[in-house]
Amino acid sequence: MLPIVRSLVAAALMLCGLIPMQARAQIVDTAAVEQALQQGAILWDARSADSYAKAHIPGAVNFGDAATLFRDPVREEPPSAAVAAQLFGAAGIDFPQRQVIVYTVAGDPFAYYAARMLQYYGGRHGLVYHGGIDAWKAAGKPLTAAPTRLAPVPLFLATEGGGAISTRAVIDLVRAGGAQILDVRTPAEFRGDDVRAIRGGHVAGAVNVPFEQNWVDPATPAKLAAKQVQGRDGMALKPVGELQALYSKLDPERETVVYCQSGVRASQTASVLQSIGFKNVKVYEASWLGYAGVLSAPAEDEVYVNVGALTGQITALQNRVRRLEAEADRRGAPASL
């Protein structure tokens, strides 16, 4: 079948609901955002309220930083369905009934995390405007500081964990053998050199492809920090062919479990995989933070945190802060670390 014919057939099947939602493209560009808005989609600006107030895409709604609203500061997991219903309902985001497009800044995995929250609570996975406000500005499109308010909607959400997989299920897959598990953290985290949980290492049998490898220039964050580049252009996604080559060792027909530290970076890679044809992708919501906490869960490159040494370092830092504060009080000047 010719490519153009195949595309037309696929589009028709999608409109008829004959292709599963998970197989549909979840990543959109500027033109698609404009078209979706004309068709009544909700545009969700998932940045902070301050960033939204300075400038945003006309028609976008905002109800706070999704990274804060949908992640417990200690457990780094989503809130209950009841809490989510209040958040979405008060903002007028009727995602069970309407398509939602999410954006932040270019390449931000939190945009994908926010979009995934819609599926997590029983709706359709949100579309992600990968280029975000950066791409909108680069295209010469207008911005506004005037807020958009939608009428509140009553929501009852009975689902938690849609599109995700639990720690128990992941452990069972690993022990059964042969699971296709993708770790999208940094190589240092994967090797256990960078420990961010009760132990370091990775899920036994996992393959490591850092999520930044999805970008045209994975080194963009470091270059931004060093002021070697001025913008986030390097965080644009690689062409489809390069992405397919990046994940060529994985089987798109098999169930693929994607994880990171707490489900954020994994959200971006999961959408990328689906956009290049992977059929059954699940995000391990608790990710390494949850897996590492089950000490019997099979791991490789396993390293345990030296709690005594860590406590000593924290105590030393606290003592230093107290000394600096006392010295600043004596001099009448603000303390500085």
Is 94 domain-assigned? yes
Mean pLDDT over 277-299 rounds to 96
Say what the pLDDT of residue 334 is.
56
Number of domains in the chain: 2
Mean pLDDT over 178-195 rounds to 97
The percent of residues in the chain predicted with pLDDT above 70, rounded, is 90
Q: 242 CB contacts (<8 Å, ≥6 apart)?
A: none
Q: Record the pTM.
A: 0.85
pLDDT digits (tens, 9 = 90+) for 40-58: 999 999 999 999 999 999 9
How far apart (Å, rounded) are the C-alpha atoms in residues 119 and 13?
A: 21
How far apart (Å, rounded) are the C-alpha atoms in residues 79 and 76?
A: 9
As given in the structure block, the two tokens for residue 135 are 């791409």
Residues 175 and 226 in one domain: yes
How far apart (Å, rounded) are the C-alpha atoms in residues 101 and 125?
A: 9
Residue 104 has pLDDT above 50, yes or no: yes
Note the residue count of the chain.
337
Beta bridge partners, 255, equal 280
What is the residue range of 296's domain? 164-305
Measure Cα distances from 99 to 19, 115, 251, 335 in Å: 17, 11, 30, 50
Specify the CATH number for the domain of residue 211: 3.40.250.10
Residues 98 and 222 in one domain: no
Single residue among 138, 156, 173 that ends a domain in this structure: 138
The dihedral over CA atoms of 258, 262, 263, 265, expressed in degrees to the nearest 10, equals -90
Is 313 domain-assigned? no
How far apart (Å, rounded) are the C-alpha atoms in residues 81 and 74?
A: 18
For tokens 């609901």, the residue is 17
